[in-house]
Amino acid sequence: MEYRKNEVYVLTITDVDMDGNGVGKLEGFPIFVKDTVIGDRAEVKLVKVKKNYGYGRLVRLLQPSEKRVEPQCRVARQCGGCQLQFYSYQEQLKFKENKVKNNLDRIGKAEGYLLHPIIGMEEPFRYRNKAQFPIGRDKQGQPIAGFYAGRTHSIIEQEDCVIGRKENKEILRVILDFMKEYRILPYREENHSGLVRHILIRQGYHTKEIMVCVIINGKSLPYAQELAERLRKLKNMTSIMVNCNQEKTNVILGKKLTLIWGKEFITDFIGDICFQISPLSFFQVNPVQTERLYKKVLEYADLNGEEIVWDLYCGIGTISLFLARKAKKVYGVEIVEQAVQNARENAKRNGIENVEFFTGKAEEVFPVWYGEHKEAADVVVLDPPRKGCEKELLQTIAEMKPKRIVYVSCDSATLARDVKILGEMGYRLLEVTPVDMFPQTVSVETVCLLSKLHVD
């Protein structure tokens, strides 16, 4: 049978893909449908037809699945941020656990490893300590804040994201009212005009300290002190900054920061370690799950105080400092100079002296250092970006012959690829623990323990 674009068909959803889209079949022809749940029976409009599959848009639910729940966010369908709000939380956890296992088995060809149950949250909403709101305008030309619709740069108005902190709404309201009053224009991407591009808000989970950073397409923000006077009246306000980004780019933050009021940073704790956080710092967005993740890293590292440990892609030293409490010496490598400076400051702030940080690409710094010093590592911790590790880096790790590798991943597909490569280099995957760092989304963090098969 030939299926045509823009025709409406009745479809039963029987599966879900890696991106959280429901999948149903018409006489064996698979259709991928956003916003549907396994068990849904629905009217679906075909919007794209390929040779062996198609994409559909949900028109009407005929019979909702038992797994379906009512999303807490009023714009869940339009917004591109939360792909799984229609699923019950237990179903979300099952989806993520299966995603990790399928990738490790299919891509990584892994066998004989122990997959632990995913570590979920008791309250899977209001967990994000960081939010970045693009600023645009409505049909009347008034400034609005929200999030981009999926696969577009069209802003869906939403000031109260349900996975973000409640304080964000009040902060945005002050800024938007200020912009209206002083006729400060939102940024227009299509012609690179207007001033205010984004609002960045960060909050310390334990300290409650709040940072607000206004990202502008200009050199200065008019009436900035007046805005600061209004924002500083809000509870726990600690830092108010302006960031200049005049580039035609999708990158949110520019390089120039100006302090308008308060401190240039906020602080927060992971466990009993205090970290200094600037607008440019990478810091895990889910503090509750971060502590659980790092405990699992420490468990897998199995340190007794005599080990040499390398923490590659170390950021501002969050994992490095945890490891240093249990190790003889920790070396951290990070490509972002500002992050390395923060890592050194964080070590000093916490009185941790058995750490040393290097600036540069892990795949360049690590091999050079090893070539010069020939000092073996007992444990290597990897926490790479989504693209995973360079093969040359994995080769150097294998040559160094650490007893254990602890791999922290935000993309189980590239994790699986690297696990396969490490397997070919003599390392066996022993244990895997998924951690739900990002409830309501398809993203899942994974911690793996690999061990050298034969110790020389």
- 159: region left, alpha or beta (phi > 0 left; psi from -120 to 50 alpha): alpha
| Beta carbons of 312 and 362 less than 8 angstroms apart | yes
The sign one gets for the Cα dihedral 37, 39, 44, 47 is: positive
User: How far is it, in rounded angstroms, from Cα 297 to Cα 433?
Assistant: 10
Question: What does the pLDDT read at residue 389?
Answer: 95
Count the alpha carbons within 13 Å of 192 in the hemisphere toward its beta carbon.
7
| Beta carbons of 297 and 322 less than 8 angstroms apart | yes
Q: What is the pLDDT along the chain (456 residues), one digit of tens a residue?
A: 788 899 999 999 999 999 999 999 999 999 999 999 999 999 999 999 998 999 999 999 999 999 999 999 999 988 878 999 999 999 999 999 999 999 999 999 999 999 999 999 999 999 999 999 999 999 898 999 999 987 788 899 999 999 999 999 999 999 999 999 999 999 999 999 999 999 999 999 999 999 999 999 999 999 999 999 999 999 999 999 999 999 999 999 998 999 999 999 999 999 999 998 989 888 899 999 999 999 999 999 999 999 999 999 999 999 999 999 999 999 999 998 888 998 999 999 999 999 999 999 988 888 888 888 888 899 999 999 999 999 999 999 998 899 999 999 999 999 999 999 999 999 999 999 999 999 999 999 999 999 987 655
Question: What does the pLDDT read at residue 295?
Answer: 97
Question: What does the pLDDT read at residue 203?
Answer: 98
User: How far is it, in rounded angstroms, from Cα 65 to Cα 386?
Assistant: 33
Q: Is this prediction's pTM over 0.85?
A: yes
Cβ-based neighbours of 329, under 8 Å, separated by 6 or more: 308, 309, 354, 355, 356
Catalytic site residue from 79, 213, 274, 410: 410
| Predicted confidence (pLDDT) per residue in 340-359, tens digit | 998 999 999 999 999 999 99
- 295: region left, alpha or beta (phi > 0 left; psi from -120 to 50 alpha): alpha
Active-site residue, 410 included: yes
Residues forming beta bridges with residue 316, ordered by sequence position: none
Question: What does the pLDDT read at residue 423?
Answer: 96
CA separation (Å) from 169 to 8, 31, 199, 266, 376?
A: 39, 38, 12, 20, 51
Residues forming beta bridges with residue 33, ordered by sequence position: 22, 56
